[in-house]
Homo-oligomer: A and B are copies of this chain.
Amino acid sequence: MTKDRPYSALVQRLKVAGLRPTRQRLALAKLLFEAPGGHDRHITAEQLHAEAVADNVRVSLATIYNSLHQFTEAGLLREVVVESGRSYFDTNVTDHHHFYFEDSGRLQDIPGEMVQLENLPTPPVGAKVARVDVIIRVNESGE
């Protein structure tokens, strides 16, 4: 039988991340990482919750938040902040940047190698660079 195979890729992925493969974490991981539409998803907690509900997965919002943060800490997701009061979680954890469409609130990936950062200033003494985010904010409306 191919379904319910105990050691599917997702189960392994969670275990490697040090997270117990619970019902809800598996369901969320599936929605996030095996979405039919492909990868490079930028999703909010509310959106993921809506998807889960639509997929008949019963999960509380609290668990959505817990899971998103745990996945992020484990390196399975990356948090992107472009707008105060709303966090996006990006399934693309490779080095890359973003276009942000201010009108629609949509994000679009820019491959890391498409942006060349020259002459980056050295960080202050004692500080280590955790990440460099480049956000290109664009408008689509003819304003």
Residues in A lying within 8 Å of B, measured CB to CB = 79, 81-87, 99, 101-102, 108, 110, 114-121, 123-124, 126-140
Contacts and interface: CB of A to CB of B under 8 A. Distances in A.
Contacts of A129: 136-138
The CB with the most chain B CB atoms within 10 A, among A116, A119, A138, is that of A138
Given A81-B84, A86-B84, A139 B130 contact: yes
Contacts of A128: 138-139
Nearest to A136: B132
A79 B123 CA distance: 22
Q: How many copies does the complex hold?
A: 2
A138 B124 contact: yes
Contacts of A82: 81
B115 A139 contact: no
Question: Nearest 9 CB-CB pairs, A to B?
Answer: A116-B118, A127-B138, A84-B87, A130-B137, A133-B135, A131-B137, A114-B121, A123-B138, A81-B84
B110 A121 contact: yes
Contacts of A121: 99, 110, 114-115, 136
